[in-house]
């Protein structure tokens, strides 16, 4: 599993939701749906607006003077909010939903500054996302139990390297709000560390013998330091002794031209990319709020491969997302067939409290998920096996990390992140040496030190 494995959201105290419904039966139904999508976020319904942490006015346009009624209600809410703040209570969030919101969104925000958020009937499934974004914009943290800045400060103080390879966190949090994922709620918004701090930490690591650094972030390619991730990689590549750079995990939306060019131009950047696509069905990708299609993903892969033809691709897949049909699943298998992976992680969809997908209709049967996962993993295994086998006969530069399990054996990694077993001297640990690959298996490849390696390792 990659280290972005979602964690359960931190325990948060229950919050109170008051919904006032105007108008038709449709609105009554919509109010229930809003309560449903907010329940996993910790909101329980209350009928006392003055106690509420979140007030939603679900409005209706049918009656005359409908919007006037809403404005006068907003006046009362403003007083309640002020009284609550004076009494030392928490902040009261105010949302206007429904048809009036749809018709006069901007007007409402202008006339009633008490309103935090206006949301039309088409966007209720996005309420958790919108509320999280609003809270963040107001400087509030939702469920995260740490301030990333403080954590990073502590991290930068002194970093003890442990071996030849190291992870270096450059970015945390996520603004993407995939509907299955808790990260945007638990980890908060995207935050990038300043390049100078990262470079200083990288130098500390290389001074202690680290030769390979993997840049980490939930959305590492959304790195927002000057010049983006590509610039950071180029600056790191200039550090003496740092031979290899990797990064994970990336989002297809943030793969920019500069980063693609870095794959072509920076020899220290390894030809391995973990770029999760999650599904090959556009219908499911839309329900996941991924904001890319199968086609745009495939085009992107073509571009990265044009820059670096030997790129090894890895990804994440979810099977059994709510509403996934056999046909949707087949589209995922098709996409995997087209991409041809060197490795991949795959998961059965699991409901995460606080996420919109957990409240979606069409939850898929466990047995169906099992069956799909097995089929998908069989396909990935085939591809991984074939990828490993395709290296046999090639000579690859291997960075040796540690002694192997057997006497006289050392273990390293190929540029494609494959584990490589070789018989050789421990003096090669921390060095890169050419290895002629002679055999392959599912999880590793084996080879002989090329003659020149034994004499003068890099």
Residues that bind ligand 5AD (CB under 6 A): 2, 4-6, 180-181, 276, 278, 316, 318, 347, 349-350, 352
Residue from 80, 178, 205, 335 touching ligand SF4 (CB under 6 A): that is: 178
Which of residues 329 and 347 has its CB atom nearest to ligand 5AD in the complex?
347
Calpha distance 120→34 (Å, rounded): 12
Structure tokens at 67: 């919007």
Residue from 97, 115, 181, 275 touching ligand SF4 (CB under 6 A): that is: 181
Helix (H) / strand (E) element for 272: namely strand 272-274
Calpha distance 263→128 (Å, rounded): 37
Using CB under 6 A as the criterion, what x/- string covers residues 183-202 for binding ligand SF4?
xx------------------
Calpha distance 221→171 (Å, rounded): 9
Choose from ligand 5AD, ligand SF4, none: what does 352 bind? Cβ within 5-8 Å by kind.
ligand 5AD
Which of residues 49 and 276 has its CB atom nearest to ligand 5AD in the complex?
276
Residues 38-42: contacts with CB under 8 Å, at least 24 apart: 38/127, 38/128, 38/131, 39/359, 40/128, 40/352, 40/353, 40/354, 40/355, 40/358, 40/359, 41/15, 41/128, 41/131, 41/185, 41/353, 41/354, 42/12, 42/13, 42/14, 42/15, 42/143, 42/354
Q: How far is CA 249 from CA 100, 122, 255, 315, 416, in A?
A: 41, 31, 11, 9, 16
Which of residues 5 and 427 has its CB atom nearest to ligand 5AD in the complex?
5
Q: Is 218 in the site for ligand SF4 (CB under 6 A)?
A: yes
- Answer whether 299's CB lies under 8 Å from 190's CB: no
- Answer whether 341's CB lies under 8 Å from 386's CB: no
What is the closest distance, in whole angstroms, from the C-beta atom of residue 327 to ligand SF4 in the complex? 23
Which of residues 53 and 172 has its CB atom nearest to ligand SF4 in the complex?
172
Choose from ligand 5AD, ligand SF4, none: what does 2 bind? Cβ within 5-8 Å by kind.
ligand 5AD
Using CB under 6 A as the criterion, what x/- string covers residues 251-290 for binding ligand SF4?
x---------------------------------------
What is the closest distance, in whole angstroms, from the C-beta atom of residue 402 to ligand 5AD in the complex? 27
Which of residues 92 and 183 has its CB atom nearest to ligand SF4 in the complex?
183
Name the residues that contact ligand SF4, by CB under 6 A.
Answer: 4, 174, 176-178, 181, 183-184, 218-219, 251
């Amino acid at each position: 599993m990659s280290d972005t494995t979602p964690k359960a959201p931190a325990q948060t105290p229950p919050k109170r939701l008051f919904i006032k419904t105007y108008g038709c039966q449709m609105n009554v139904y919509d109010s229930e749906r809003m309560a449903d999508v907010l329940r996993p976020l910790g909101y329980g319904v209350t009928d006392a607006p003055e106690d509420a942490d979140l007030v939603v006015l679900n409005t209706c346009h049918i009656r005359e003077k409908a919007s006037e009624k809403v404005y006068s209600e907003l006046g009362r809410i403003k007083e309640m909010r002020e009284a609550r703040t004076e009494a030392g209570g928490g902040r009261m969030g105010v949302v206007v939903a429904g048809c009036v919101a749809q018709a006069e969104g901007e007007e409402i925000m202008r006339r009633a500054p008490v309103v935090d958020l206006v949301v039309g009937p088409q966007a209720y499934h996005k309420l958790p996302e919108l509320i999280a974004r609003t809270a963040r914009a107001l400087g509030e943290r939702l469920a995260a139990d740490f301030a990333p800045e403080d954590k990073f400060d502590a991290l930068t103080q002194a970093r003890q390297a442990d071996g030849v390879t190291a992870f270096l966190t450059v970015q945390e949090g996520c603004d993407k709000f995939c509907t299955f994922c808790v990260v945007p709620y638990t980890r908060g918004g995207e935050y990038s560390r300043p390049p100078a701090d990262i470079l200083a930490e990288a130098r500390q690591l290389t001074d202690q013998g680290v030769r390979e650094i993997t840049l980490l972030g939930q959305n590492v390619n959304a790195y927002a330091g000057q010049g983006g991730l590509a610039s950071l990689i180029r600056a790191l590549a200039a550090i003496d002794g740092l031979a290899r750079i990797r990064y994970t995990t990336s989002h297809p939306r943030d793969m920019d031209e500069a980063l693609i060019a870095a794959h072509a131009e920076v020899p220290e950047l390894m030809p391995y990319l973990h770029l999760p696509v999650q599904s090959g069905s556009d219908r499911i990708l839309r329900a996941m709020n991924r904001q890319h299609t199968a086609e745009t993903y495939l085009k992107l892969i073509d571009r990265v491969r044009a820059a670096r033809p030997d790129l090894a691709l890895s990804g994440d897949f979810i099977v059994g997302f709510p509403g996934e049909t056999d046909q949707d699943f087949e589209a995922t298998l098709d996409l995997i067939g087209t991409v041809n992976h060197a490795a991949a992680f795959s998961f059965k969809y699991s409901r995460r409290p606080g996420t919109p997908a957990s409240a979606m209709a069409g939850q898929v049967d466990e047995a169906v998920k099992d069956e799909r996962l097995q089929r998908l993993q069989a396909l990935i295994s085939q591809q991984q096996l074939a990828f490993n086998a395709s290296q046999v006969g090639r000579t690859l530069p291997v960075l040796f990390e540690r002694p192997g399990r057997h006497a006289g054996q050392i273990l390293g990694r190929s540029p494609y992140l494959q584990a490589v077993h070789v018989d050789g001297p421990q003096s090669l640990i921390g060095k890169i040496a050419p290895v002629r690959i002679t055999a392959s298996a599912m999880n590793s490849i084996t080879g002989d030190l090329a003659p020149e390696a034994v004499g003068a390792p890099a």
